[in-house]
Amino acid sequence: MKKLFVKKRLDSLKETKKWAREFLRDLKREADKINVVFLQGDLGAGKTTFSRFLLEELGATGPFTSPTFVIMKEYELKRPEKMEKDDLVWEKICHWDCYRVDAKTVLDLGWWEQVTDRKNLLLVEWPEKISEIWPENYWLLKFSHDGEMARMVRVEKVLANEN
């Protein structure tokens, strides 16, 4: 198993948006191996804000809100005119919020179908609630407060079949 991590400090919403764009490049590079991004952190740590910026960068249409009460929202992606053909890696983003559910509920809602379809990118808030059904390969972003406005993000990339 290969596990890499870095830490990133985000001092503003502008920096968070810029970093979402940068992280998207890493996501695309690993898209053939990883299509799940877990977002951990306390309430207000920046999980949904980061998800919104990532969704905007991918060309999804909002409004972008936390799927807390609906558990999962799907966003279809369409290639903008200016985007290169090969630049659209995924066709759909599945944004999950597992705060109020357990693994059985998530499985019943089609978890494995979404995970195994490489045309999907999954963004999962509160993934610790469903840790027993995590796929082998994933990104884990751990958000934490660092002062009043700043956030720290620990980024882990986990690949099961690489050394």
Domain ranges in the chain? 2-159
Q: Which fold has domain 2-159?
A: Rossmann fold (3.40.50)
User: Quick one: pLDDT band at residue 84, thresholds 50, 70, 90?
Assistant: low
Q: 94 and 62 in contact (C-beta within 8 Å)?
A: no
| SS3 label, residue 139 | strand
CA-CA distance, 16 to 150, in Å (whole number)?
10
pLDDT value of position 153: 94
User: Quick one: pLDDT band at residue 76, thresholds 50, 70, 90?
Assistant: confident
Q: Which of 63-67, 126-130, 155-159 has the lowest mean pLDDT?
A: 63-67
Q: 87 and 59 in contact (C-beta within 8 Å)?
A: no
Give me the chain's average pLDDT, please. Answer: 88
* Residue 88 dihedral angles phi and psi, to the nearest 5°: -95, 100
Report, as an integer, the average pLDDT of 92-107.
94
Q: 25 and 128 in contact (C-beta within 8 Å)?
A: no
- pLDDT higher than 90, residue 93: yes
CA-CA distance, 2 to 79, in Å (whole number)?
33
18 token code pair? 């810029």
C-beta atoms surrounding 80 within 10 Å? 9
- Which carries the bigger pLDDT value, residue 138 or residue 70? 138
User: Quick one: pLDDT band at residue 163, thresholds 50, 70, 90?
Assistant: low
Report, as an integer, the average pLDDT of 125-136.
96
- Which carries the bigger pLDDT value, residue 162 or residue 10? 10
pTM: 0.89
Q: Which of 30, 109, 24 is nearest to 74 (CA)?
A: 109
